[in-house]
Every structure is written in structure tokens, then in C-alpha cells.
Amino acid sequence: MRIEISGLTKVYKGKGRALDDLDLVVPTGMFGLLGANGAGKTTLMRILAGLLRPTAGTVRVGEHDGTARAGRLAVQQILGYLPQDLGVYPDLTAREFLDYIALLKGIDDRAARRRRVGELLEVVALTGDADRRLRGYSGGMRRRVGIAQALLADPRLLIVDEPTAGLDPEERIRFRTLLSQLAGQRTVLLSTHIVDDVAQTCRELAVLASGRLVFRGTVGDLTRQADGRVWTVVTAGPAPTTGTVVSALPHDDGMRYRVVGDSPPAFDASPAAPNLEDGYLALAQKA
Amino acid sequence: MIATARYEMAMMLRKRSMWITNAVIVLLLVLLNVSGWGDALRDPDARNTVASTVFLMNLMLPVGYGSLLADRLIRDSRLGVAPILDATPASPTGRLAGKYLGTCAAAAVPLAVILFGFAAVYSVTAGRPVALAWAALAYAVVVLPAVLFVGAFALTVPLVMPAPLFRVLFVGYWFWGNGISPAVMPTTTQSVLSPAGVYSNQELVGLRDFTLAGPVPGATLNFLRPEATPATAWLSVGVLLAVAALALGVAQTLRTRTTR
Ligand SMILES: Nc1ncnc2c1ncn2[C@@H]1O[C@H](COP(=O)(O)OP(=O)(O)OP(=O)(O)O)[C@@H](O)[C@H]1O
Ligand SMILES: [Mg+2]
């Protein structure tokens, strides 16, 4: 399923443009969405999920017109959505909550619903806690319930907004692996601040800044943005002042800094191979 | 709609404060008039005894459940569940109706416990089991319309003001619009618009201790107080339900306006 977005603009009342004439094509498979806080990622996802009406522009999801009422409903039939600020009903158990959402998603057959909810509780490793009230769940456990509800109706379009925020490393890796396994014939749109999650799961990605598209391409393309701009330097003196310091590690002779910038931060700095995060930072510097 | 009704009802029933609030109000009503209740339990007039008990219940308990229902609709966004629900293909109108019916049903459960509990005790102490039948009628034509009326406003009004403010205004409204005598100031008390349900209580259940429904000489808004007959009693039930439906319609409009 392909998503075609063109001229998409969203103006919140009394605020600037959250999305500004955005054109973007998201192909089938797993697609990453990066961007600073307030770049417009959540706004875009809420529009795709049919929760928000765009001010201008069009959205096509497969053969459906995502800006018309009938099209939105058709999209919601095949949609799994994990909101960024997700909440649950504290007075239901995880199993009940999932059962309720499954009903709203139209899984009417009771046996099928039970089976599906059981499977997904297993997937998110909550089977043991499934019959406890959600009130007592930790933040990460709630997010796992959120992940489970997004997968309930076997969605062909999966929109996940910072799904791994608050997960422990083991769960985070398990979940991102699950997402890329699911991708296959589906479209999975993943927004995140954890660049590594994109590096490990997506082939293609887009970067938003102030509601505009500033990059679209493969992970390799973005990494190459930092070609010749990554340096490491070991110094006992003050930290480098040019470029962006991406890491600072204690070293026998002081500190070892990794820096992304136009020019070497010191005469004895040595070039280093860039990774996706460097590419992302280099892009931000150029902008 | 059925799914929402079912789960909304379950969640409301699990709210401990709902049971506590009702219990406290009932306890106060009993303690304030212990000897009166003793007499009531021996009164051979089953019809009037049930009716006056229901009158008292319906004058006091809505204050509690009205306040408790006030967070039910707005909490979806406050808790952050709204985006999940709104992204499902389930119809928003169906979900609102389900929420309304489910939470109202839950609010009506403690009322049933109280009313039928009283009627059961009374049938034994007064030897008048027919009280249970009158209680069933009173529940249907006096208690439930009030729940549906109050529930509709408790879901709707907090969309435009904070729930605590609604609670304060609601309590104020309740005693103004159902308690204060129309002889004192303009009010909906004793009119077909009063959810306390004096018309149906008097004409259908048979409240005889005092006459409340009907025109009050010299009062304003008497056009809302037609002669009390069974027909105007049904009219009153109909008016209450119609106003409730209107309030829900407003809620639906407000929600589609703000979420889109
Ligand atoms: N409901 C709203 N009302 C008004 N302005 C909003 C609303 N939601 C978002 N905005 C504004 O729109 C812009 C884009 O916000 P959005 O939430 O889409 O960014 P984001 O990329 O998801 O950010 P983050 O990484 O912090 O989640 C921001 O400037 C924000 O202030
Ligand atoms: Mg966001």
C-alpha cells in the first residue's frame, strides 16, 4: 500500500504552520520519519489516521482518498495506530482493554477476538499481567498494551508514533524487529527520535523540519550526508567548539570526542566513518 | 455501541466512589429521620410509601450521580484514550450513544439496589409485597428518566467548562430547579421540566402525601405546570427524554467540531 501526500498543509488555530505544503510518497514496507521536536511528525500521522483534517492538500492511501469521509473510514478499516501520547483506561485489565478495542475494530466473533488478544498479549510479553488492572502498569507496559492494540485487526497500514519511547532495551529491540518482520506486504510508518531504530529497520526514510520535507531517500543516502564531516579527536584540553559533539568518552590521554562538522575540530583530528545519526546531524547543520 | 455500553458500564460500576457517594447520601437520609422511616416501614399504604420514598431518593441522589458522571466523556481525551478510539472505524455517534447508555445504566444500578432493597424490607415489615411492583413502576417512570436527563447533561456540559465547575453549577441548578418552591422565585420546580419527576410520581405511581404537580397559584412559569393527569405525567417523561436527546446532539456536534 502506497501513501501519496501532496501539498499537505496544516495550520493550527492561532499557531504557525505545523505542516507546510508537504509532498511525500511512502512506499509499501517500512518507512522512517525523523525530525526535531515540533517538526510536524505527529501532525502528519494524525492526519493519516483520520483524526485531524488538513487545512489544504491531499492524501491518498492505496486507492482511498484520505481527506474524504468515506476514504477516511476505509483507511481506518485497515489501520493500526499507536499514538504518541497514548493512554489506557486504568479501571480495565489489559485483556479487557484489548477486547474492547478489538470490538471497535469490528472483530465481532468472540472466539476469534479472544484468540487474537491472547496472541498479541504473548507478542508484547504481557500474558502474565494480562488480568491485572492497567492502573498498576508501568509506562513501558502501557506502551506495550498500546502496541498490541495497534496490531489487533491485522492492519495493512501501521502508523506508529514514537513506539519505542519508554521501552527497556530488550523490549525496544524486540519490538522494532517485530515491526520490520510485519512490514513485508504492509506499510509501516515509524516516527522516532531514536535514529538507531530507523537504521536497524528501515530502508527508506524522510526527515521533516518545521513542517517541510528536508530529506527523502535511503538510509545510505542520509548517512552519506556526513561523508567527510565526521572526526574523532583525543584531547586533555577543552572540548572542541566547532561542529556538534556527538560523543565524549573518557580516554587514557583525556577525552575522545566524536564531532560532526564542516572542518576538522583540531589539527590532529582524524576522519571517521559516518553512521546514520551523523548523517542526520550533518543534514540539520546544512539546513 | 453495544461494546462501548458494556465496557463503559463495567468501568463505572468499578468506580468505588459511586457506591460510596450513594451510600453516604442514603445513610444521611436515614439518620436524619430515623423515627419517620420506622413509621414508613409499618405504613399499610404501599403505593404512597413507595412513592414518597422515590420522591426523596430522586430529590437527593441525582446530585451524587450527576457529579460522578461528569468526567465520563471528557476523560477519554484526558487519559489519552481518545486517539485510539477515534482511529477505529467504529461510528462516533454509536460510541457516544454507547457511553451514554452504559454509564447511565451503571448509575442506575445502585439506585435499583436502594429502591428495591427498601421495597423488599418494606414488603416484609408491612406485609405488603405489592410494594415491589410499585417500586418497579416508580423505577421505570421516575428514577430512570431522571438518570437519562441528568446523564445527558453530565456528559455534555463538561465539554465546554471544567468538570468541577459543572459539578458546582449542577448542584446549584438541582436545588434551584427541583427543590425551591415556585412561590419563592421563578424555577422549574414542580414543572414537567423537573427531572425530580413529580408529575409521573404523583399521577403514575401515586404520591399522595403532598400534591406537587400542577399549576401553582401566583407562580411564574406556570405554562410549564399543566393540570396533573396521567397524560401530562407521560408528557413530562417525554419532555425530559427529548431534552436529554437534544443535549446529546449538542455533545456530538461539539465533539466533531473540536476533534476534526
Ligand atoms: N493541538 C495543537 N494545537 C496547536 N498547535 C499544535 C497542536 N499540536 C501540535 N501543534 C504545533 O504543531 C507543530 C508540530 O507539532 P507535532 O506534534 O506534529 O511535532 P512532532 O514532530 O510530532 O514533535 P515531537 O517530536 O515533539 O513529537 C508544533 O509547533 C506544535 O506546537
Ligand atoms: Mg510527535
Q: Are A227 and A274 in contact (CB under 8 A)?
A: yes
Interface test with B, best of A84, A100, A134, A159 (most B CBs within 10 A): A100
B128 C-beta neighbours (distance < 10 Å), count: 19
Say if ligand 1 is within 6 A of residue A185 CB: no
User: What is the position in ligand 1's atom list of the atom closest to the CA of A14?
Assistant: 4
Q: Is B4 within 8 Å of chain A by CB?
A: yes
CB contact under 8 A, A76 and B80: no
Rounded to 5 degrees, what angle do the CA atoms B239, B243, B248 make?
Answer: 150
Q: Would you give the DSSP letter of residue A79?
A: E
ipTM value: 0.91
Using one digit for the tens of pLDDT, what is the confidence trace for B135-155? Answer: 999 999 999 999 999 999 999
Q: What is the mean pLDDT of each run of 10 residues along chain A (287 residues)?
A: 94 89 95 94 96 94 91 94 95 97 96 96 94 94 94 95 90 89 91 92 94 94 92 88 89 90 87 92 85
Say if ligand 1 is within 6 A of residue A84 CB: yes
Q: How confident is the model at residue A237, as a pLDDT?
A: 84
Residue nearest to atom 4 of ligand 1 (CA): A12
Residue nearest to atom 3 of ligand 1 (CA): A12
Q: How confident is the model at residue A16, as a pLDDT?
A: 83
Task: Reply yes or no on whether the pLDDT at B259 is more than 80.
Answer: no
Distances (CA, A) of B229 to A137, A156, B205: 56, 61, 12
A287 alpha carbon – ligand 1 mean position (Å) = 20
Task: Reply yes or no on whether the pLDDT at B229 is more than 80.
Answer: yes
Which cell numbers in the block locate residue A52? 485531524
CB contact under 8 A, A91 and B89: no
Distances (CA, A) of A234 to A252, A274, B172, B177: 9, 18, 73, 79
Q: Are B251 and B96 in contact (CB under 8 A)?
A: yes
Using one digit for the tens of pLDDT, what is the confidence trace for B84-129? Answer: 999 999 999 999 999 999 999 999 999 999 999 999 999 999 999 9
Task: Reply yes or no on whether the pLDDT at B260 is more than 70.
Answer: no
Which cell numbers in the block locate residue A57? 492538500
Q: Residue A29: which H helix or E strand, with range?
A: strand A29-35
Q: Please report how the helices A110-123 and A139-151 are oriented relative to each other, as an axis angle in degrees rounded to 10.
A: 140
B3 alpha carbon – ligand 1 mean position (Å) = 32
Q: How confident is the model at residue A94, as a pLDDT?
A: 97
Residue type present at position A111: A
Q: Could you give the residue ranges of the DSSP H alpha helices within chain A?
A: 41-48, 69-77, 94-104, 110-123, 139-151, 169-183, 195-201, 219-224, 276-286
Using one digit for the tens of pLDDT, what is the confidence trace for B22-77? Answer: 999 999 999 998 888 989 999 999 999 999 999 999 999 999 999 999 999 999 99
Residue with cell 446523564: B151
Maximum alpha-carbon separation in chain A: 70
Closest alpha carbon within chain A to B6: A100
Using one digit for the tens of pLDDT, what is the confidence trace for B155-214? Answer: 999 999 999 999 999 999 999 999 999 988 999 999 999 999 999 999 999 998 888 888
Question: Cβ neighbours of residue A273 under 8 Å, at least 6 residues apart?
Answer: A230
Q: Please report how the helices B92-125 and B46-69 are oriented relative to each other, as an axis angle in degrees rounded to 10.
A: 150
Confidence band of B258 (pLDDT split at 50, 70, 90): low
CB contact under 8 A, B86 and A100: no
Mean pLDDT of B209-220: 86
